[in-house]
A and B are shown apart, each in its own frame.
Chain A
Amino acid sequence: MKQKRTNSLSNIKVIQEEIVEEFEMFDDWMQRYEYMIELGKSLPLIDEQYKTEENIIKGCQSKVWVHADMQDGKVVFTADSDAIITKGIIAILIRVFSNQEPQAILDANTDFIDEIGLKEHLSPTRANGLVSMIKQLKMYALAYQTKVN
């Protein structure tokens, strides 16, 4: 358990590198978006009972619901969105952050977003609210971390 704990942050980095490598295979934006849409299909879907108003992330033009749970010291995220590009974006974030320890989630940076060519979505005014999504995932991590402490 102790061993795993220290590995969580490097796990996140490994997954981020994997994603960057996957996106490097594509030459143009269209293939990247198509892949993102594909990734959206693998999103661990939020249980219908959690698709509530409170679980909607504010600041997105489309609806994004996120639910978090603590399992064996790790935060497990599930989510859904009514827009498929947004679903792809949240799927990428969840692939990185789900099943990780709260402190690692809090410590992780999100530079990989830039590297996979989604930097344009990082603008805080951008309608899809990628920034809001990251913030929300980290908020959950912070809440669980506070509980652990």
Chain B
Amino acid sequence: MELSNLDIEKIRADFPILSRKVNGHPLVYFDNAATSQTPKAVIDAIVEYYEGYNANIHRGVHSLSQEATDAYEEARETIRAHFNAQKKEEIIFTSGTTHGINLVANGFASELKTGDEVIVSALEHHSNIVPWQMLCEKTGAQLKVIPMTESGELDIEAFEDLLNKNTKLVFVNHVSNALGTVNPIQKIITDAHQKGAAVLIDGAQAAPHIKADVQALDVDFYVVSGHKMCGPTGVGVLYGKEEWLNKLPPYQGGGEMIDQVTFEKTTYAGLPHKFEAGTPNICGGIAFGKAIDYLNEIGFETIAAYEHELLTYATAQLLEIEGVKIYGTSKEKTAVISFNIEGIHPYDIGTIIDKLGIAVRTGHHCAQPIMDYYKIPGTVRASFSFYNTKEEIDAFVQAVKRAKIMLS
């Protein structure tokens, strides 16, 4: 396979974990949609922080605190530039996508009333269903669902029918975690705005592969996690339009987010601090910035082209195995293959190929409504990253064949 402009040997050398063995076999890591691996540059940033300038930020007058504050704010700027937000204040550090979604859902509790409608999609991760269900229970708003089609795409016509003047919010993921489908978010955002509804896009699965431009999209909120973008776990970002962030109440009370505190009344700090109560994941934020730098050095177009080649190759190889059925066959998809082999439980396949050093995800992928749609207990999900290779796909396909023989 002709591999696009990507020095795979050099890239693999950046990821120490890729040289380890699992159960006596070289690790083949195909669970990237759950957590991506961490390059040396990011690991170094974490070590440098703790060895060199670990201190609390924004409040200290001493030098270490200043250095840590500078590095943290520099990371915010890196992230702002990456997503092309207009202002740094629109970038809120969170503990991850789930936190970002809950922050917005909580904020909207005071915005919604009985009779209002909230639209989610059938392709959502549980983290983008449950907070909205809770919000609707609290406010009396009604939850509507954009149905999916057999190919794992959203039924956009049905979405148009769901939209009306009562629609206040629309929540859709940019890319489905279970199937890899890339959703037509630009159209969804434009159409929702025409009816006056705000839109939150869950970018967790898209962000490692697609560089989103929040201004071009005109999206109201966009949420991502660091650990899916070669950054550490426990850190993420909520982008929100300044006007929305000013409007929504703070999510958590505490230090850092205040302006003045008396027992009579507290006034809140300005953005972004209003939403960043307490000591944040300082090291995580800094390392997340480094991860984004790392990805941009390789280039998102290069990453997408290479991963697409891996996807095409793996899809063809897998389909040669009799009984394989792939779920999610949208033309626009990221490097994710969700599949089953007829008559075999996904859990059994995952267990056997783990013994051969291959890490995939099995189960419902926190997207039970999708599994219910296909009437299956779950799938085996192999998700590729730019540091994976065709040789690894060969090893994976061999392992699946072996599992099939054992399990049939």
> Residues of A with Cβ closer than 8 Å to B?
29-30, 33-34, 37, 61-63, 82-86, 127-128
Contact = CB atoms under 8 A, between A and B. Distances in A.
A62 B347 CA distance: 7
Given A29-B355, A63-B377, A82-B377, A127 B345 contact: no
Contacts of B363: 61, 127
A82 B406 contact: no
Contacts of A86: 345, 347-348
B355 A61 contact: no
A17 B347 CA distance: 28
B377 A62 contact: yes
B31 to A, nearest CB: 13
Given A61-B378, A82-B345, A37 B407 contact: yes
Contacts of A85: 347-348, 351-352, 407
Interface of B: 23, 344-345, 347-348, 351-352, 355, 362-363, 377-378, 406-407
A30 B407 CA distance: 11
Contacts of A29: 23, 355
Contacts of A33: 351-352, 355, 406
Contact of B362 (A34, A37, A61, A63): A61
Contacts of B407: 37, 84-85
B347 A61 contact: yes
B355 A30 contact: yes
A83 B355 contact: no
Contacts of B348: 62, 83-86
B25 to A, nearest CB: 11
A27 to B, nearest CB: 13
Contacts of B345: 62, 82-84, 86
A30 B23 CA distance: 12
Given A33-B355, A61-B378, A128 B347 contact: yes
Nearest to A121: B351
A127 B406 contact: no
Contact of A83 (B23, B347, B406): B347
Contacts of B355: 29-30, 33
B402 to A, nearest CB: 8
Given A61-B362, A62-B348, 5 more contacts: A29-B23, A33-B355, A82-B345, A84-B407, A86-B345
B403 to A, nearest CB: 10
Closest 3 CB pairs of A and B: A83-B345, A83-B347, A62-B347
Given A61-B362, A62-B345, A63-B377, A34 B351 contact: no
B24 to A, nearest CB: 9
A102 to B, nearest CB: 31
A62 B351 CA distance: 12
B377 A128 contact: no
Nearest to B362: A61
15 contacts: A29-B355, A30-B406, A37-B406, A37-B407, A61-B363, A62-B377, A83-B348, A84-B348, A84-B407, A85-B347, A85-B351, A85-B352, A85-B407, A86-B347, A86-B348
Contacts of B351: 33, 85, 128
Contacts of B406: 30, 33-34, 37
Contacts of B362: 61, 127
Contacts of B378: 61
A61 B407 CA distance: 17
B328 to A, nearest CB: 20
A127 B347 contact: yes
A61 B378 CA distance: 9
Nearest to B352: A33
A29 B352 CA distance: 10
A93 B23 CA distance: 25
Nearest to A126: B351
A83 B349 CA distance: 9
A133 to B, nearest CB: 14
B358 to A, nearest CB: 14
Nearest to A63: B377
A25 B48 CA distance: 51
Contacts of A63: 377
A91 B363 CA distance: 22
Nearest to B23: A29
Nearest to A62: B347
